Structure 1
């Protein structure tokens, strides 16, 4: 990519990040182009679809998330690693309103621009789950698909304004359902949260 094209690409991504942070996944491609002071055709040349734009926006976050799973896998006990990574994922899911819906649709669609990134997240969570199951700290009757579905469900719930204030409590309830013998009193948020 030429230097001017790379600069344009970086500028569009920076503006897109701001617009998507403000408006979530429903941000208008026209609004992104307008605010980046480029034509819609220029935006579409770099990002031919909304998914391609989100893949570019999210790939750094998702790569970091997958790398974090690798670090936790070698540095923490299996149960702690699974819960810490799940917490990291929730933090990521809160970064862009609506991103979880995109990921849920993309994780089984190889034609999606987000498929590879979503598959990496799914694989990382499944690895951490299997490791915790091997140690006996996670339920044996669930698999990576179940865990990804629970993560997605929590991500969707905390994306809703009415549930967002309960994010920590919902996280602890789901983590308690995944782990065996987790002390619910130790980490649970107050009942009124």
Structure 2
């Protein structure tokens, strides 16, 4: 793809992501083209159908979340990486409130694409969980479905002015709960006569 064509495609994906987040996937394609400052013909050359555009936007955002899990795991201790990623995930979902209902419909459509893409986020979360368990910094009796259920309560809360601060406190509370169940390694008893 020529450099200018790639730039136009990137602008369209970014504009579509913002428009879908604000108004859902029924946003007019003309509005998306206008936001990207390209003609509607350019949009159709890159994305022949609305479904194709939605798939590309969704895949890009899923990839970014999964990449964030790997980046955080390289830069932070496992439990810290897990907490930071959960906050990023909550922020991501909250920013997509306009897309939430539309994505539920698409995910329920049994599309092979959406089934594969939606499985990547729990897998990224499970990698972070496994690393934190192996490190001994969180309890071992949880999995990604437990945390996804807890996170849905956080990102599903009404978006009041203090929502972001409250979500950070709730993710921190969740992490405190994960850490509190860790069995501390007991010290070996002193040999007889050395007490």
TM-score grouping bracket, smaller chain normalisation: 0.5 to 0.7
Structure 1 position 155, deviation (Å): 2.4
C-alpha RMSD over aligned residues: 3.7
Residue 114 of structure 1: CA displacement? Answer: 3.1
Q: Is residue 2:164 matched to residue 1:153?
A: no
Q: What secondary structure, in the 3-state scheme, does the structure 2 residue paired with 1:180 have?
A: helix
Indicate conservation of the 8 Å contact 1:82/1:132, yes or no: yes
Q: Match for residue 38 of structure 1? A: 40
Instruction: Give 1:30-179 correspondences, 5 Å limit.
Output: 32=31, 35=34, 38=40, 43=44, 46=47, 48-50=49-51, 52-99=52-99, 111=111, 113-157=113-157, 160-162=158-160, 164=163, 166-177=166-177, 179=178
CA drift of 1:161 comes to 2.5
**Residues in 1 aligned to 2:12 and 2:142: alpha-carbon distance in whole angstroms:** 41
The alpha-carbon distance between structure 1 residues 13 and 68, as it changes in their structure 2 partners (threshold 3 A), is closer
Instruction: Supply the distance in 2 between the matched residues of 1:131 and 1:140 (Cα, whole angstroms).
Output: 11
CA distance in 2, matches of 1:171, 1:57: 27
Unaligned runs of 5+ in 2: 182-195
What CA distance in whole angstroms lies between the structure 1 residues aligned with 2:127 and 2:29?
40
For 2:175 and 2:105, the matched residues in 1 are separated by 23
Computing the radius of gyration from Cα coordinates, the structure with the larger value is 2
1:90-138 Cα deviation digits (max 9, x unpaired): 2322332244556667678752543333211110101111221223322
> Cα 1:107–1:140, aligned 2, differ >3 Å: closer, same or farther?
farther
Equivalence for 1:25: 24
| Cα 1:156–1:98 shift into 2, 3 Å | farther
Instruction: Give me the TM-score of the superposition, normalised by structure 2.
Output: 0.65
Equivalent residues of 1:109, 1:115 under 8 A apart: no
SS in 2 for 1:141: coil
> 2:179 & 2:116 partners in 1: Cα distance?
31
Deviation at 1:145, TM superposition (A): 1.7
8 A Cα contact 1:106 1:114, kept in partner: yes
How far is 1:8 from its partner? 6.5
Distance in 1 (alpha carbons) for counterparts of 2:85 and 2:139: 17
- Matching residue of 1:180: 179
